[in-house]
Structure 1
Amino acid sequence: MTVKDSHTNPWGGRFQSETDPLVRRYTGSLDLDRRLAAYDIKGSRAHVRMLADQGILHPEDAGQIEKGLDQIEAEISGGTFPYRDELEDIHMNIERRLQEIVGPAGGKVHTGRSRNDQVALDLKLFCLEVAGDWRDKIRVVQQTFVERAGQLETELYPGWTHLQAAQPMSWAHYLLAFVEMFERDRRRLASYSDLHDVSPLGAGALAGSTLPLDPAKTAHSMGFKEAFRNSYDVVGDRDFILELLQIASQIMIHASRLAEDFVYMSSTAVGWIELPDALCTGSSMMPQKKNPDVMELARGKTATVLGHATGLAALLKGLPSSYNRDLQQDKEHLFPAVAITGDTLEVLPLVVAGFQVRTGRIALLLREGFLMATDLAEYLVRRGMPFRTAHEKVGRLVATCVSEGVRLDELPIERIRSLIPECGEDVGAVLAPAAVLQNRRHAGSTGLESIRGQLDYWKQRLQGEKRE
């Protein structure tokens, strides 16, 4: 069936001429928003059923429209849908195609609806789906961290602050720290999904409709918790996109910090870990090179996501309230950031599962940098010395070692006791790096009891859990 209109645009009645082709190209968004087609069809189905239930649309027309939407859905999934750039966006493409399929009844699908609430709905459905998808992917990331932590609970990690040697701890403790980071991201997403579980459909252009619409009915039919309370607010609301990108930024920052750690630890100069060959690349010139490109790109792509979040914030901050065409640009930031974040969450488990600890290299390092100095100070505290005094005495002992060019574990016990008479004959046991796993017993520490408690906690949390 052919639709014959004097104007291509849905607003043709007001204008005496067609839109300039250059303007069409400049204002079009079909290349971006065609990925919203499934959500647009879902919203149209819910809207048409509500119109029929409210007596606004004849049941026969509603049935024809639904069949037409079914055909459009099949055409899009089958790659045969006739996209037309001159129709500006996916929403008008679907509506025009619907009219071609079912005739005049197709022109009723937009009854009581504006592209303002229509687009807001499509984006809201997309973002809520993404939030759920990210929560599932984060669980896979966390599961991988927990599995590796279980394998490495007694392996020692030379912990740092300021990129300087600090204290030994378990590799498991290091890995479980990232489980905590990503759990905060997952909880942010849960809060996000609850906060933005509001349907905008029925708000119209900005003031609702004179027709007897039932926004709550369409909201519940699409699985929303509730419908909007204020039509003027909801058509211009893009908080849900900005907040999703802010959460994406936090996810990517956590990924970037892991990436920076792994780039550093796998470097030639450090060499604490070995990354899998399958996750690295080489050099086109230097035959010996093995580059941690996945981790470097995760770090670099984080900057891109941060840029998109900042770009959207800049877009929104200058707009007056309600809908403005500037909001079309939200998808320029949303879709790339979503793709990068999702891909990063998928690749992280490969890295975490595949890296190998170079225990020989680390064993040498654990003897450098006086990593057991704090444990020695606390040993003196347990023997009754004020901590500040113990800190001073151990600091002087470290200075002596530095001036003599020896490691702390190279000093004979007698020499240590001569410099710090308060030390007992058992002080040597305190200086063994492995002692950190036994001498820390409180919850949350790197002590072995604490680590096993953390592992038990996360195994119980993760077991059989899909999506809260």
Structure 2
Amino acid sequence: MKNKNKTVWSKRLKGKNSISFQRIGSSINIDKRLYKQDVFASIIHTQMLVKQKIIPSIQGKKIINGLNKIKLQISQGKFIFEEKLEDIHLNIEKKLFDIIGPAAGYMHTARSRNDQVVTDFKLWVKDSSKDILKEISILMKTIIKKAEKNIDTVMPGFTHLRNAQPVSFAHYILAYYEMLKRDKKRYENNLLLLDESPLGSVALSGTSYKIDRNFTAKKLGFKKPTDNSIDSVSDRDFAIDFLYSSSVCAMHLSRLAEDLIIFNSNAYGLITFKDDVLTGSSIMPQKKNPDSAELIRGRVSLNYGKLNSILTIMKGLPMSYFKDLQDDKALVFDGYDTIKDTLILANELISSLVPSKVKMLKMANEGFTTATDFADYLVKEKKLSFRDSYNISSKLVNYAEKNNKTLNQISLNELKKFYKGLDKSVLKVFDVTNSMNAKKSYGGTSSINIKNMLKKYKREVK
């Protein structure tokens, strides 16, 4: 390592790599994000080498002290990365030689960059998954707060973007809580799957040194060492799982954004936002555009692209390690940045959201949203079959539509034209608040259900 222009394998090759190859082959501008994990794993590896008496303890102490100095330099922005040294691993090793001299040569005993990089990468994904889980929990809590204030806020529920049945706005927004809860479980399941340490797999076949992989696994925070060294160095399932979970989460946030964009439009007018998540127009003075929601909706494509890219990289790789895997980290790093930023913005968007309660109630009364309630009334109170009740209710809807009336504007005498045995008790079924609160089946939109679910949700996010 004394010759600054040479690589660790330069003794094997006679000529220099071409400039274009060096440029493409260097990943330092990407994988320098792994520096904390690389230093940490190298320290644990060194501790194991000393414990197993594979290297002298005096050299181990020098290595660990040098690594801590390097970590501090990088964190303070004082470390100069060299592109010709390819990656974070060789940059750190080169700097270690500069700091402690020949003792640095002991560090890479019983280790290859193949198991080194996948160990660092797994540690990074573990740390980053925990960051994402925190952001998801924050958004879930914000949704709960918004729901608590709107338990009795009636809005139209939609199917096919057409008025369907009255629902609570709290019930609507809590649907996204459920999606986020599944997202959270996906990331948590990923953490269980990746909880095996590949360190000690070396290039692909293990090592003849008497290493202690259980020691390094425990010290690194893994449950156990991996069982197959070939699979260990070639496995990127954990990266795929991370990007898949991020893609599904981004899809949920995109659906939320799409709803809010529609509800905020002039045609619907069901919600407004505070100005902190809106922009204006360069030409139209009246405009307040929900650009934050539109950005959330658009960014899902970035997550999908990263997932598709890593799946495509992996699909053609035989065993075990190949340079193709260099690009996996850029995909995951970008995927992490995208989903984290999107979650933070989504939280701001929900915090800023203000339901237009009067408009929601008005629209809930439009589109004959209580037609099903009328049919259900005929079944329960008049003992008709549901299909007969459905037909009667359909005729009533046609009548209301023809006469430009909402269902709650139709008198009892008019209703009796469709079924003679009706009395004034039927009128309550056309009240949208009654309709909402009648849905008491588990998971339904009644206020009592929502209050009970909110108690459950609060326990979940503590």
User: Is 1:351 paired with 2:349?
Assistant: yes
Residue 143 of structure 1: which of 120, 133, 141 is its match?
141
Give the TM-score normalised by the residue count of structure 1: 0.96
SS at match of 1:121: helix
Deviations 1:290-332 (A, max 9, x none): 1111110001001110111111111111111211100001122
- Report the Cα distance in structure 1 between the residues aligned to 2:295 and 2:6, rounded to whole angstroms: 44
SS at match of 2:269: coil
Identical aligned residues as a percent: 35
Deviations 1:346-372 (A, max 9, x none): 122211122111122222212210000
SS at match of 1:184: helix
Residue of structure 1 equivalent to 2:320: 322
Residue of structure 2 equivalent to 1:107: 105
- Report the Cα distance in structure 2 between the residues aligned to 1:6 and 1:258, rounded to whole angstroms: 53
- Report the Cα distance in structure 2 between the residues aligned to 1:98 and 1:390, rounded to whole angstroms: 82
Once the two structures are superposed, the pairs formed by residues 5-404 of structure 1 within 5 Å of their partners are: 5=3, 8-383=6-381, 384-404=383-403
SS at match of 1:419: coil
Deviation at 1:83, TM superposition (A): 1.1
Deviation at 1:84, TM superposition (A): 0.8
Deviation at 1:18, TM superposition (A): 2.4
Deviations 1:55-97 (A, max 9, x none): 1110000000011101101110111112111101111000011
Contact kept, 8 Å, 1:7 with 1:18, in 2: the verdict is: no
Give the TM-score normalised by the residue count of structure 2: 0.98
Segments ≥4 residues shifted beyond 4 Å: none
- Report the Cα distance in structure 1 between the residues aligned to 2:314 and 2:437, rounded to whole angstroms: 54
Give structure 1 stretches of 5+ with no counterpart: none
Contact kept, 8 Å, 2:31 with 2:330, in 1: the verdict is: no
Q: Structure 2 counterpart of 1:452, which letter?
A: K
Contact kept, 8 Å, 1:154 with 1:437, in 2: the verdict is: no
Deviates more, 1:318-327 or 1:347-356: 347-356
Residue of structure 2 equivalent to 1:452: 451
Contact kept, 8 Å, 1:157 with 1:168, in 2: the verdict is: yes
- Report the Cα distance in structure 1 between the residues aligned to 2:64 and 2:384, rounded to whole angstroms: 81
Deviation at 1:6, TM superposition (A): 8.0
- Report the Cα distance in structure 1 between the residues aligned to 2:351 and 2:76, rounded to whole angstroms: 37
Contact kept, 8 Å, 2:436 with 2:446, in 1: the verdict is: yes
SS at match of 1:282: coil
Deviations 1:362-408 (A, max 9, x none): 22212210000011111111121111111111011111222233222
Q: Structure 1 counterpart of 2:244, which letter?
A: Q
SS at match of 1:159: strand
SS at match of 2:283: coil
SS at match of 1:180: helix
RMSD: 1.2
- Report the Cα distance in structure 1 between the residues aligned to 2:398 and 2:282, rounded to whole angstroms: 47
Residue of structure 2 equivalent to 1:432: 431
Q: Structure 1 counterpart of 2:68, which letter?
A: D
